[in-house]
Amino acid sequence: MGLDGSLDQESAAPAPALPRRSLFRYNSPLTQVGLIGLVCFCCPGMFNALSGMGAGGQVDPTAANNANTALYTTFAVFGVLGGGIYNVLGPRLTLAAGCSTYVLYAGSFLYYNHYQHQAFAIVAGAILGVGAGLLWAGEGAIMTSYPPRDRKGTYISLFWSIFNMGGVIGGLIPFALNYNRNEAASVNDGTYIGFMCFMTVGALLSFAILPPSKVIRDDGSTCTNVKYSSVSTEAAEILKLFLNWKMLLIVPAAWASNFFYSYQFTNVNGVLFNLRTRGLNNVFYWGAQMLGSVGIGYVLDFSFPSRKVRGYVGILLVALLGTAVWGGGLAHQLTYTREKLPEKLDFKNSHSDYAGPFVLYFSYGLLDAMFQSLVYWVIGSLADDSETLSRYSGFYKGVQSAGAAVAWQIDQHKVSFLGELIINWSLMTVGYPLLLVLVKLAVKDDVKGEEGDKKEVAPSFAH
């Protein structure tokens, strides 16, 4: 202890020596990233499965479109604020508060199944937007700051795979429970109840996440130079993000990164396939996300010695894949319109007609994971400390959600399917060259002197 009675002794004490292979320690970055993956498996993973059915599992998409607009509007605000809230409250309270709102949202569609009143779904969507902003800001801080600098792509792919397994399992729920259900009907109550059970588990599991000061890498360093912040400090730092040139370069990619969900879920999966086939398609859509995240994670961590070069190669690879996938989507979109809808396909009875649209939908999932994992890797390469990365991640999710809010209303206002596809393709394409500029100007190859090497003790309330 110092002369003034401060915690210098604890702060200066060397971190305990740990064996290099103890990857599965509870306080290791690997375990903690795995845990946040499980939290997102249960909450946003199940939400994705619910949304992926098209119209939230309902026949009429109006309630789901309006609920999603409310959701992403509040998400846009609290996504940006979420990083600051995380820095004040710490991970456990932030994540638990965020996760609890997912249960309410799924319950609102259970209510809608019986009463057909969309007001509850819209209010629940707005509340979920607040919670999602908190959850994803905390998740972004953990996923980008806990891993070692040279393995961020690998840890991001690990998180993305666990998280999207939620979409896979969540897709099996409506597939199994609605296998023999009439196509003109909405999904049954058991589907929503199943989602609510998983989401409740996710909220409880969030209390298992450790704060950065207690997470220790295999070299004995803590994950960040952590010092929990104040409301006034965070307000000032969040405002600075809107003048930060790095964040401004991220804006087009962030805006595009959830914009396409309304088109893909409602106007591809929802329009082309019957009820049980939509559930099956979601299993493969989110499974494709797992494959895509692992593939791009390998490229971004192991393909070349230079981190800049790995960034360039990753961006070019995703750009080429994006061009091919959206080009295939354009070719298929030209075969139907809002005014001339095709006959719905069933995986069991329309094998030859089903194969092409299925591969397209699978490819959309593959591209989504690769694109978002790439953006997260770029964000993670801009800093190492949890405080900064929580703000960056929150800004990314805020802009992303603002784009999604606009996208759901574009669909609600019946813009042509072809118009929606062209908007989506164009927005994603604009993001690639700006990401290249960001990697060139802001990503450094020098990996010496990580911020996490300096250990400070967080106040006890955050532990």
Within 10 Å of residue 31's Cβ, how many Cβ atoms? 17
Enumerate the domain spans of the chain: 23-462
pLDDT digit string, tens, across residues 404-423: 889 988 988 889 999 999 99
* Confidence at residue 185, expressed as pLDDT on a 0 to 100 scale: 55
Nearest Cα residue to 280 out of 178, 384, 368:
178
- Percent of the chain past pLDDT 70, that is, above it, reads 86
| Stated pTM of the model | 0.80
What is residue 448's predicted lDDT score, i.e. its pLDDT? 41
Residue 159: predicted pLDDT: 92
**For the chain, what is the largest distance between any 2 Cα atoms, rounded to a whole number of angstroms?**
80
Q: Quickly list DSSP for 61-83.
A: -HHHHHHHHHHHHHHHHHHHHHH
The CATH code of domain 23-462 reads 1.20.1250.20
Considering 176-185, 320-329, 412-421, the range whose residues carry the highest mean pLDDT is: 320-329
Beta bridge partners of 345: 273
Asked if 255 and 441 touch (Cβ cutoff 8 Å), the reply is: no
pLDDT tens column, 74-105:
998 998 888 888 888 888 999 999 999 999 99
DSSP 191: H
- For the packed helices 189-205 and 44-52, what is the interaxial angle rounded to 10 degrees? 160
| Nearest partner of 113 among 177, 58, 49, judged by Cα | 58
pLDDT at position 337: 94
Q: Among 87, 342, 343, 372, which residue's Cα sits nearest to residue 232? A: 87
Q: What pLDDT sits at residue 115?
A: 84
User: Do the beta carbons of residue 237 and residue 391 sit within 8 Å?
Assistant: yes
Nearest to 357 by CA among 367, 346, 366, 349: 346
Mean pLDDT of 62-70: 84
